[in-house]
Amino acid sequence: MLHTALLRPTVLHILRAAGFHSARPSVIDVLTDIMARYLHLLAVQTAAHATHNHNDLEPTITDVRLAMADCGVFLANTAASEEAWREAFRKPLEEYPERNGIRAREMARRDAEDTADVREFIEWVKGDAHKEIRRIAGFLPTDAAQGVKMDDTRTQPEDYLTVLKKKHNKTGEESRYQGTVLGIAAESKPIKIEGGPAESLAEWNRQAFELSRKAHEKAEKNGKNDTRMETDEPHETNGDPMQAEQ
């Protein structure tokens, strides 16, 4: 729930940048869930490509690019079959002469075709749409922040998460967010059990093991006594020697 709550402001900033200034809570929840599932799918695809390409869980930029293509971030201009046929029938680069930069220009043209989807994504990140999202989120420096100088350094605007933490943090970050992903790790303390002879889980586990061991020993002892009684019990002969021999 904490990660979902942290993702909600991002969805709100994107909606505000797109021109939506109000929405029902159910709509925000649905969009947040869609974004969380999409990010999870992107991470799963990246891990799968990392395992298939170099048998390592540490992904490279190539694995991320392939995962983004699988998830629809990069839209190819041509189909995979068309790309394979074009690659099979086009003239190899070795056959282009190097004079006057003919081979270099052909190589640059092919690289531009192969990376067209990536360049479009980079242009979107650098474009006005993403800039508006960053402005709404408070990541772009304002004129007031740029005009203040302290020790030859410009003050940087704080992101929304830092602002929210300072706004709702009345007792200090060390105590409020301790034990969560937003704060420092919490110290492990023993869990005490109330209403019983044992005061901790370790003590309860030791007592339970001891009771189980005693019950097992008692069962084995009773089993041996029953066997001994059966073997040592005399048979009634009633004075008949033939029956005694049997």
Query: Which residues are paired to 153 by β-bridges?
Result: 150
Does residue 218 register a pLDDT over 80? Answer: yes
Regarding whether 201 and 143 lie in a shared domain, the answer is: no
More confident residue, 207 or 239: 207
Q: Is 179 helix (H, G, I), strand (E, B) or coil?
A: coil
% of the chain surpassing 70 pLDDT: 68
State the Rg of the chain over Cα. 37
- Angle between helix 2-18 and 128-137 (nearest 10): 130
Beta bridge partners, 149, equal 154
Task: Answer whether residue 100 is part of any domain.
Answer: yes
245 within domain boundaries: no
Q: What is the pLDDT of residues 164-189, one digit of tens each?
A: 677 766 665 556 666 666 666 767 77
Predicted TM-score (pTM) of the model is: 0.50
Whether 80 and 86 have beta carbons less than 8 Å apart is answered as no
> Average pLDDT, stretch 6-17?
87
Q: Is the pLDDT of residue 144 over 60?
A: no
Same domain for 211 and 90, yes or no, is no
Q: Is residue 16 part of a domain?
A: yes
Q: Are residues 25 and 64 located together in one domain of the fold?
A: yes
Q: Provide the percentage of residues in the chain whose pLDDT is more than 90.
A: 12
Q: Are residues 200 and 166 located together in one domain of the fold?
A: no
Supply the CATH number for residue 145's domain. Answer: 1.10.20.10
Q: Is residue 152's pLDDT more than 60?
A: no
Q: CA triplet 34, 38, 44: central angle to 5 degrees?
A: 145
Average of per-residue pLDDT across 41-60: 90
At 149 the pLDDT is: 43
Number of domains in the chain: 2
Domain-embedded: residue 133: yes
Residues of the domain holding 80: 2-176
Residue 194's pLDDT band (cuts 50, 70, 90): confident
Residue 101 lies in a domain: yes
Q: What is the pLDDT of residue 125?
A: 82
Same domain, 61 and 97: yes
